[in-house]
Amino acid sequence: MEKQIDLYTADDTVRLAIYGTVPERQHELNVLWEKYAPCVEQTLDKCGFNIQAGSFNSLLFDHKSMYMNWLFGFGLMKGLTGFEDLDMPDEINQESINNIKTTTTYFEISEIFDHIMLLKESTDIIEFDENKVPYPKGNKPEDMEGAAAFDLLCMNAAFLMLHEFRHIQLSNMNHNFSAIEEEKECDNYAKNFIIEKISEYCKKSGYGYQQVLVKRMLAIGFCFCFMIFITPQKFWKKSKSHPSIKDRIGSILKDIEIGSNDNFWFYINRILIILICYFDIKVENIKGNQSKLFYSLIEKFE
Ligand SMILES: [Zn+2]
C-alpha cells in the first residue's frame, strides 16, 4: 500500500477501490464524483480508526486504518479456510465455542486481532509479523489467501467510502433525516450502489447473478463484522447518532434473497463465532438452520 500511495493520489485510491468492486458503475460514479466533488485526503496516522466525511465535502482516511482493514481481511480468511474440522453445526453452545478457542487457527486469528487492537490505540503503523501477514505493497498478491484478502479490502473500503460519500451528498441537499436515519440511508445507499446493477455486470462478465450477489453481500456483511470489531463494546448499542450495529446489519439484509442454507450464512456465522470467541461473549444453546443461527448470533452484539 505504501507503493500505492506513491503511485496514486488518495482520490485515485478511493475510486479504484470502488471501480474494482462495482466495475459496471464506473461511469456513473465519475458523474457523481464530478457533481459532488468530494475532497479526498489521506491524513496523518492518528489514534483510532479513521475513515470519515468531514466538513467542506472532505472524505478523510489514514494509512493506518487501511492497514487495520487489511489485517482484518487476513484474519477473516483464516477464519474461513481454517477450522476444517468444524463442520459448521446447526447447533452452537458454550462448549463448541470453548473448543474453537483451543484451536491453532483461532490462536492465529486472535494474534492478528490483538495486533489490530494495538494499532487502534497507536498513532503510528506498527507492522505485524510479515512472515504471517505480508505487508500490502499496492498490487493484488498472487497467492489465494492474499488475493482474497485484497479483494475484501477493496470491497470493504468501497462500502465504507460510499457510505461517507452519501453523507457528503446529503450535506449538499435539504433533507429531514434524523442522525440515525441518515446513518441507515448512507448504509442503504452504499449497499444499493454495490448490488443494484449486478445483472449488468453479469451480462458482460458471464458470472451468475446469485454468485456475484452473495460475494458482494458477504463483503458488506464482513464490513459490519469489522465495525463490530473496531467499535468499543459499549457503543454496539443504539446511540443518539447511530443505530445499533445489529439493526444496521438487519436493515442491510432486509429484502435480499439469499436462501436459508446458502453459504453466505455459513461464512458470516463463522466470523460472528470468531468475534464471539474474541470478545468472550457467553452463548446459550442456539439451534436452527444457518440463517436462523445468524439472527440468533447477531443478537449477541447488542
Ligand atoms: Zn455514517
How do the domains of the chain map onto residue ranges? 2-301
Contact 247, 238 (CB under 8 A): yes
Q: How far is the CA of 164 from the centre of ligand 1 (A)?
A: 6
Find all residues with CB under 8 Å of 174, minimum gap 6, and list them.
none
Task: DSSP letter for 138, please.
Answer: S
Tell how strand 286-287 and strand 91-92 pair up.
antiparallel
Q: How far is the CA of 232 from the centre of ligand 1 (A)?
A: 16
Tell how strand 51-53 and strand 58-62 pair up.
antiparallel
Long-range Cβ contact pairs of 108-115 (< 8 A, separation 24 or more): 108/78, 108/82, 108/132, 109/75, 109/78, 109/79, 109/82, 109/274, 109/278, 110/277, 110/278, 112/71, 112/72, 112/74, 112/75, 112/78, 113/72, 113/75, 113/229, 113/278, 115/71
E-state strands within 200-293 = 286-287
Q: How far is the CA of 166 from the centre of ligand 1 (A)?
A: 8
Q: What angle do CA 241, 242, 243 make, to 5 degrees?
A: 135
Q: How far is the CA of 124 from the centre of ligand 1 (A)?
A: 24
Separation between Cα atoms, residue 281 and residue 295, nearest integer Å: 16
Q: How far is the CA of 185 from the centre of ligand 1 (A)?
A: 9
Q: How far is the CA of 52 from the centre of ligand 1 (A)?
A: 8
**Whole-Å CA distances, 236 to 26, 96, 184:** 34, 24, 15
Cell triple for 267: 461464512
Q: How far is the CA of 161 from the centre of ligand 1 (A)?
A: 10
Cell triple for 257: 434473497
Q: How far is the CA of 186 from the centre of ligand 1 (A)?
A: 6
Separation between Cα atoms, residue 158 and residue 220, nearest integer Å: 9
Q: How far is the CA of 223 from the centre of ligand 1 (A)?
A: 13
Q: How far is the CA of 5 from the centre of ligand 1 (A)?
A: 25
**Whole-Å CA distances, 3 to 15, 72, 191:** 17, 20, 29
Tell how strand 58-62 and strand 39-43 pair up.
parallel
Q: How far is the CA of 174 from the centre of ligand 1 (A)?
A: 17
pLDDT reported for residue 4: 46
Burial of 19 per CB tally in 10 Å (0-12, 13-18, 19+): middle
Q: How far is the CA of 220 from the centre of ligand 1 (A)?
A: 15
Of the candidates 54, 59, 46, the residue with the CA atom closest to the CA atom of residue 10: 59
Q: Does this model's pTM top 0.85?
A: yes
Please provide the DSSP assignment of 17-80 as one string.
Answer: HHHHH-GGGHHHHHHHHHHH--EEEEEPP-SS--EEE-STTEEEEEHHHHHHHHHHHHHHHHHH
Amino acid at 262: D
pLDDT reported for residue 2: 46
Q: How far is the CA of 228 from the centre of ligand 1 (A)?
A: 14
Task: DSSP letter for 197, please.
Answer: T
**pLDDT average per 10 residues of sequence, the chain (302 residues):** 60 90 96 95 92 89 91 89 67 90 93 97 92 79 81 88 95 93 96 97 95 93 94 92 92 88 89 95 91 93 90
